[in-house]
Amino acid sequence: MQVKVKTPAKINLTLEVLNKRPDGYHNIQSVMQMIDLYDYLTIDVNDSDKTEIILSGTSDEIPYNEKNLVYKAAKLYIDKTGIKNKQIKIFIEKNIPVAAGLAGGSTNAAGTFYGLNKLFNLLSKEELHELCATLGSDLNVCLEGGCLYATGRGEKIEPLPYRNYSVSLIKPLNLGISAKEGYTKFSQLEKKPELDMTFKMIDSIKVNSDIRQFLHDDLEVAVFNDYQELQKIKSMFPKSIMSGSGPTYFVIGDIIPEIDGYWVKNGLQFIPSGVEEYELLLK
């Protein structure tokens, strides 16, 4: 059995950090939007005398072992459903930059849950969301897709109306910023932003007015002064906003020229979907 799943990137139209939780995560409020920049997962399942998960892919920046969120998702699905004596091979075609604030790992993991369930059909959508919530903060958003209001650590979601915008991305080529770094530096800020942009953004989306005036990312405020690469992006594109923990920035409705030392992607669109089947081959 084989299925191919396309797993889209996400951007944060807003990201506001509320407080630190007892479990070490932070409570947030955020408007997240999926865009049509995709990784592709090819999942092959065959009978075997044991249960094993084998990862491979096109990127040399990610591990192909139990540290990968795709591996963890596959193991969670196996443990939850009791599948036995299956060899599960997953090939990851990476197009979303790694450690970029675009939920590349999370969307791959959500796509793994989705793809395995396409093949085995053992869990409900609600049960898939429960698995997503146990594994990471953005997985539920990637599974559900479209435009979403996310709270908790990002796993509690409410759908918002879909609006069609074009978007361009820019990221320093040799810079990655982890979520841990972003949230740690935010907690160290003496003066934290209190703009309440998330609810202004939600109101704007609901009445279909221009959302660009409400774009905001608390984590950008936290890491901005530490990286000249981010300062260069902002000076060249003042309307750009960082996504998540960065270092990717995006602009809505504008084109970004090619710049030495930076990865640039133009011509992207907001999409109303999340992870979804690209091709199903039952054999």
User: Active site residue: 4, 6, 10, 171, which one?
Assistant: 10
Question: For 143-164, what is each residue's pLDDT tens digit?
Answer: 999 999 999 989 999 999 999 9
In the chain, the domains with their CATH numbers are: 2-159+274-281 (3.30.230.10), 166-269 (3.30.70.890)
* Residue-level pLDDT at 28: 94
Question: For 121-139, what is each residue's pLDDT tens digit?
Answer: 999 999 999 999 999 889 9
User: Active site residue: 39, 138, 217, 218, which one?
Assistant: 138
DSSP secondary structure string for all residues of 116-176: HHHHH--S-HHHHHHHHHHH-SSHHHHHH-SEEEEETTTTEEEEE-----EEEEEEETT--
Question: For 173-205, what is each residue's pLDDT tens digit?
Answer: 999 898 889 999 999 998 888 889 999 999 999
Indicate if 10 belongs to the active site.
yes
pLDDT beyond 60 at 283:
no
Indicate if 125 belongs to the active site.
no
Least trusted range by pLDDT, from 19-28, 43-52, 176-185, 195-204: 19-28
Q: 169 pLDDT band (50/70/90 cuts)?
A: very high
Spatial CA neighbour of 205 closest among 216, 214, 196, 193: 214
Mean pLDDT of 26-30: 93
